[in-house]
């Protein structure tokens, strides 16, 4: 764990999540302490080494030591290293008194010369950290400049501009991202997040940030993931404490007869100080989400079509249309028979997370917002319009929304006897071809504006030339 020497006063504080206020004050203080220990505040951030993030410029080892002059070699730095970059000794406990600054940097050899700051002479093999916490610090700065007014200081999707936007900016604190190329059980990959930030989300207020350098993009993405992890710990910890230590829970317990406000408070203090109680729970929460983030970065987390895209043809489009109308797949129940986004489920009354009827009929996302199935005539695909994007949307769904993952209905080649399956890999491509054709129908029928038709036409032609993963944007 490293406290960053940031010294930027005047930063706005992280706001609390909604349920924080329901806790007893002593439980609130504990939540704040945990978050402060492991994440710090915007003006005094903490880079916690338990998080699977690249928060430093890089890591290295001492390869040559002559007196106090040292040569340090780096492994895969994440940012440009120059003379003047800070180096910190990683001797188990990190202490910024052990900092030195690079005197000479040899880019070709990835080696730096510097003078040891330590009281005892360092040895060959000692580990060092370069630019400690610098990626996080740069990420925070860029985020404050470009993202915060929509996504909020804490990444709660509630910045000052947010109330005016529909859909709302993403609240990162659930760790759920919608438009990924990963399996439905996985989180977003770093590439997914940087693709969204680079391209934006068409048809929404999420802008594209094409001018960020590669290093800037790395910093922003690590910062977004860092905020997401902080928010997840906060939400889950509050959820855990609320069971026994919300104002309401404590009142109920007292009404039960055997307990008093004081005995409950004492029980809480004991649990905070017992390593097997709350500290263990905090560890468990963090271990769970960090391992999920890590496994989502593995190559096998990615959606991989078994067959290359079936070229578009009248026959394939007709097959796609047939699948689209197949009652068991339910596309039309949501998107409507004509694909206008007005299927029967959009006016049926649905249940909220607590099992109560929603006041307004229709479909809701995990964040509790009403969502409309896409109008497939618009030709606008929020998750990108490469064939692989549409394939991923159908195969893995749109996370956090009612748009389901159809991977479970797939007939995999490995099991051709599986007659319970609804679809084959080719079928998904037929659906993709049908979806691409829908705005075209309007053009043929003289209904579509050319502004809608052209990009789709381009997408179609480009993707037919090369059947897979053509970037058409
Ligand atoms: C003008 C407001 C606005 C700004 C500025 C903005 N965003 Fe967004 N962002 C949105 C909206 C709205 C969405 C949700 C769109 C949706 O749900 O389809 C979103 C979604 C996202 C997502 C979620 C993608 C997914 O697959 O779920 C990420 C990540 C994101 N933004 C990152 C950023 C970053 C990083 C910046 C700054 C570099 C930024 N945004 C700036 C409005 C904004
Ligand atoms: C339970 C309702 C539901 C069902 C069933 C459903 N969808 Fe969706 N679909 C949605 C919703 C809601 C969205 C918009 C989600 C968002 O962006 O917030 C969506 C979005 C989409 C998109 C837009 C993707 C993008 O990048 O913008 C496509 C394409 C799509 N669905 C195709 C299909 C197909 C094909 C089927 C059937 C195989 C299907 N949907 C079944 C609810 C549904």
- Cα of 206 vs centre of ligand 1, distance in Å, is 4
Q: Which two tokens stand for residue 117?
A: 């700051």
Least confidently predicted of 16-30, 76-90, 174-188, 393-407? 76-90
pLDDT tens digits, 358-407: 889 999 999 999 999 999 999 999 999 999 999 999 999 999 999 999 98
Q: What is the mean pLDDT of residues 100-124?
A: 86
The closest of 399, 393, 396, 400 to 409, measured between CA atoms, is 396
Mutate to test the pocket of ligand 2, among 157, 202, 335, 406 (most ligand atoms within 8 A of CB): 335
pLDDT tens digits, 200-210: 999 999 999 99
Give the number of whichever ligand sits closest to the CA of residue 226. 1
Give dist(CA 70, CA 64) in Å, integer.
6
* Residue 178: per-residue pLDDT: 97
Give dist(CA 403, CA 382) in Å, integer.
13
pLDDT tens digits, 415-447: 555 555 678 889 999 999 999 999 988 777 765
- Cα of 203 vs centre of ligand 1, distance in Å, is 12
* Residue 463: per-residue pLDDT: 36
pLDDT tens digits, 31-48: 999 999 999 998 889 888
Q: Which two tokens stand for residue 25?
A: 């004050």
Establish whether residue 196 lines the binding site of ligand 2, counting it when its CB lies within 6 angstroms of any ligand atom.
Answer: no
Q: Which two tokens stand for residue 265?
A: 């408070």
Establish whether residue 386 lines the binding site of ligand 2, counting it when its CB lies within 6 angstroms of any ligand atom.
Answer: no
* Residue 8: per-residue pLDDT: 52
Give dist(CA 236, CA 213) in Å, integer.
34
Q: Is residue 116 within 8 Å of residue 100, measured between CB atoms?
A: yes
Establish whether residue 143 lines the binding site of ligand 2, counting it when its CB lies within 6 angstroms of any ligand atom.
Answer: no
The closest of 22, 14, 5, 126 to 65, measured between CA atoms, is 126
Give dist(CA 150, CA 159) in Å, integer.
4
- Cα of 371 vs centre of ligand 1, distance in Å, is 16
Residue 192 CA: nearest ligand 1 atom is 26
Q: Before 16, cis peptide (omega within 30)?
A: no
The closest of 159, 146, 190, 210 to 296, measured between CA atoms, is 190
Mutate to test the pocket of ligand 2, among 345, 399, 403 (most ligand atoms within 8 A of CB): 403
Give dist(CA 205, CA 170) in Å, integer.
11
Establish whether residue 168 lines the binding site of ligand 2, counting it when its CB lies within 6 angstroms of any ligand atom.
Answer: no
The closest of 98, 133, 99 to 6, measured between CA atoms, is 133
Establish whether residue 385 lines the binding site of ligand 2, counting it when its CB lies within 6 angstroms of any ligand atom.
Answer: no
HSE-CB for 13 with a 13 A CA cutoff: 6
Residue 212 CA: nearest ligand 1 atom is 38
Reply yes or no on whether the pLDDT at 464 is more than 70.
no
Reply yes or no on whether the pLDDT at 453 is more than 60.
no
pLDDT tens digits, 243-281: 999 999 999 999 998 999 999 999 999 999 999 999 999
Give the number of whichever ligand sits closest to the CA of residue 320. 2
Reply yes or no on whether the pLDDT at 450 is more than 80.
no
Mutate to test the pocket of ligand 1, among 140, 145, 168, 170 (most ligand atoms within 8 A of CB): 170
- Cα of 245 vs centre of ligand 2, distance in Å, is 40
- Cα of 408 vs centre of ligand 2, distance in Å, is 16
* Residue 468: per-residue pLDDT: 31
């Amino acid at each position: 764990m490293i406290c960053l020497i940031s010294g930027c006063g005047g930063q706005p504080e992280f706001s609390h999540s909604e349920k924080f206020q329901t806790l007893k004050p002593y439980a609130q203080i504990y939540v704040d302490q945990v978050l402060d220990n492991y994440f710090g505040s915007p003006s005094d951030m903490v880079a916690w080494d338990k998080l699977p993030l690249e928060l430093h410029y890089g890591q290295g080892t001492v390869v040559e030591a002559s007196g106090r002059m040292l040569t340090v070699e780096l492994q895969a730095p994440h940012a440009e290293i120059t003379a003047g970059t800070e180096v910190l000794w990683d001797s188990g406990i990190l202490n910024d008194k052990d900092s030195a600054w690079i005197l000479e940097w040899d880019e070709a050899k990835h080696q730096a010369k510097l003078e040891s700051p330590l009281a005892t002479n360092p040895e060959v093999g000692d580990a060092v950290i370069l630019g400690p916490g610098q990626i996080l610090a740069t990420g925070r700065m860029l985020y404050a400049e470009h993202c915060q007014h929509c996504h909020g200081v804490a990444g709660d999707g509630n910045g000052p501009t947010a109330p005016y936007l529909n859909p709302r900016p993403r609240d990162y604190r659930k760790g759920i991202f919608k438009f990924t190329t990963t399996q439905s059980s996985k989180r977003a990959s770093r590439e997914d997040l940087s693709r969204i930030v680079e391209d934006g989300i068409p048809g929404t207020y999420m802008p594209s940030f094409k001018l960020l350098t590669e290093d800037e993009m790395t910093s922003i993405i690590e910062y977004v993931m860092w905020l997401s992890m902080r928010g997840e710990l906060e939400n889950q910890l509050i959820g855990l404490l609320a069971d026994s230590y919300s104002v309401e829970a404590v009142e109920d317990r007292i009404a039960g007869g055997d307990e008093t406000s004081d005995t409950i408070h004492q029980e809480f203090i004991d649990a905070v100080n017992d390593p097997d109680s709350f500290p263990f729970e905090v560890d468990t929460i963090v271990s769970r989400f960090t391992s999920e983030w890590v496994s989502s970065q593995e190559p096998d987390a990615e959606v991989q079509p078994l067959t290359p895209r079936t070229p578009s043809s009248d026959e394939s489009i007709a097959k796609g249309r047939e699948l689209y109308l197949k009652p068991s797949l339910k596309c039309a129940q949501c998107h409507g028979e004509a694909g206008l986004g007005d299927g029967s489920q959009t006016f049926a009354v649905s249940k909220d997370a607590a099992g109560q009827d929603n006041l307004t009929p229709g479909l809701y996302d995990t964040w509790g917002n009403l969502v409309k199935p896409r109008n497939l005539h618009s030709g606008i695909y929020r998750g990108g319009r490469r064939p692989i994007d549409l394939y991923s949307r159908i195969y893995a769904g749109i996370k956090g929304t009612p748009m389901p993952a159809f991977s479970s209905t797939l007939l995999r080649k490995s099991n051709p006897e599986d007659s319970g399956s609804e679809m084959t890999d080719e079928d998904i491509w037929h659906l993709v071809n049908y979806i691409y054709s829908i705005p075209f129908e309007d053009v043929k029928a003289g209904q579509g504006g050319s502004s809608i038709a052209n990009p789709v036409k381009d997408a179609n032609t480009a993707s037919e030339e090369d059947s897979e993963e053509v970037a058409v944007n």
